[in-house]
Chains A and B, each alone.
Chain A
Amino acid sequence: MLNKKLRNAIILSIIIFLCLLIVTVSLRDSDKVKGIRAKALDFFRPIQEKIHSFFYPLIKAVNTVKDYFGLIEKVRALEEENSRLLKDYSENINLKVENNALRKLLGVKQRNKFDTKLAKVIGFYESRWQSEAILNVGRSDGVLEGMGVITEKGLVGVVILSSNSSCRVRLINDPQSSIGARVLSSRKVGMVEGSLDKKVYLKYIPKDDIIFRGDIVITSEYSKLLPPEIVIGRVKRVSVSKQSPYKEIEIEPFVDFRELEYVLVVTR
């Protein structure tokens, strides 16, 4: 009995020591650990991709059932949005033609288009402290750390680790995510950050600035790798508190992270 207890104590001590050693090494020598992480991602990619493909119809079916209950509300909101967008459409075309003509006249550079690489989401992990996805593209496809990931709806996140054939993406609702952003209508600049409750906030907008519910938030032009003017989300709630010099602005992202299937990595 004593022998058994002693053996258990030794096992636990060894495991704790090993874990402390690994944590220390990973914090001190992050480059080496990054290499090992990239290799682990490459190693598990084939089986991960197979499992994902096999179960994806089930994920889709469950999500469809969940969506069904909010369908009437969703359709009504979409109809409203559609009529508003139709009204804006012809005006926008006129503005675009006018804008291009004026840019030409003034010698201002036209907006740059960016290159993208199509990728499939093969992994997804969301906990209180983390929101990440794994894509089936990596360094061999020209995908590097820091590159932005988008869908047709808007910004998804940023690549944080790229291995040879896959990569990890930090989603914008991850508590460690921080992205330069701009309010489309007022042109105010702030930072879009994730949080522990998985909500997305626009931070560092002074109390005196006017921000409306429904304002669109886009990426700012101050990021090296993320292209500007990619839509992030819509302002959902604006509040002020006496303790903070800034407004508390909650953003509703346009992208539903749980339903991601294919994304685009902005490679240039």
Chain B
Amino acid sequence: MRIVPKILHFLILIIFLILQISFLERLELFGLSFDLVMVTIICISMIDGILYGTFYGFISGLVFDLMLGNIVGVTAFIYAIDGFAASNFVNMGYNKRRILAFVFVTFLITEINLILTSIIRYIFDLNVNLVDIGLELLKRPIFNIALIFLVYPVIRAGSKGEDTFEFGYKEKD
């Protein structure tokens, strides 16, 4: 196990987090927005495995909470669960159909992310509109799915082929 790629992945994640706050949030197109951090956590989970996915998710969420969050710890929890679940989905057998795996895993994690966020906000007494959440459950994964095909090669470039999840078109099952 080489530690340098893992550290590199962590640095990329933190840079992407700042990129999300400083730049991507302003690029809302047709009401759809990206979640670069979540997509990066999914990629790290696929490449480095469950431990790094969960831990990096937790740390990046914590940094986000400290910079912009309402309640410190909430985003850390959500991103950690995202990392944990992404790795589990891959281990469950989604890696049999590689390109589809990216789509399905990103779709599922985006939905989990949104549902968890809504539940936690509801617990903390913030209003939750079910119709709006339903709409968001449909439209939010679209850009995240497109984004994962851009982010994955960047994350993988640093791992020098040591990942646990190969990119689809390389080999046949």
Contact = CB atoms under 8 A, between A and B. Distances in A.
A23 B70 contact: no
Contacts of A67: none
Interface stretch (A72-80, A127-135, A141-149): A127-135
B67 A23 contact: no
A123 B68 contact: yes
B67 A37 contact: yes
A165 to B, nearest CB: 14
A225 interface: no
A40 B68 CA distance: 10
Interface in A22-77: 22-23, 25-27, 33, 36-37, 40-41, 44, 47-48, 51-52, 55, 58-59, 62-63, 66
22 contacts: A8-B50, A8-B88, A12-B84, A23-B71, A33-B72, A41-B67, A44-B63, A48-B18, A51-B18, A52-B23, A66-B29, A123-B68, A124-B22, A125-B68, A126-B33, A129-B70, A129-B117, A129-B126, A168-B68, A175-B126, A175-B127, A258-B28
Interface string A130-163: 1010100000000000000000000000000000
B68 A59 contact: no
- Main DSSP-derived SS at the A contact region: helix
B97 to A, nearest CB: 23
A26 B73 contact: yes
Interface residues of A, number: 46
A129 B121 contact: yes
Interface residues of B, number: 40
A237 B64 CA distance: 36
A19 B73 contact: yes
Nearest to B88: A8
A197 interface: yes
A12 B50 CA distance: 10
For A8, A62, A176, the residue with the greatest tally of chain B CB atoms inside 10 Å of its CB is A8
A125 B73 contact: no
A122 interface: yes
Contacts of A36: 66
B54 interface: yes
Given A27-B71, A37-B67, A197-B132, A125 B126 contact: no
Contact of B54 (A15, A130, A258): A15
Contacts of B76: 18-19, 22
Contact of A44 (B67, B121, B132): B67
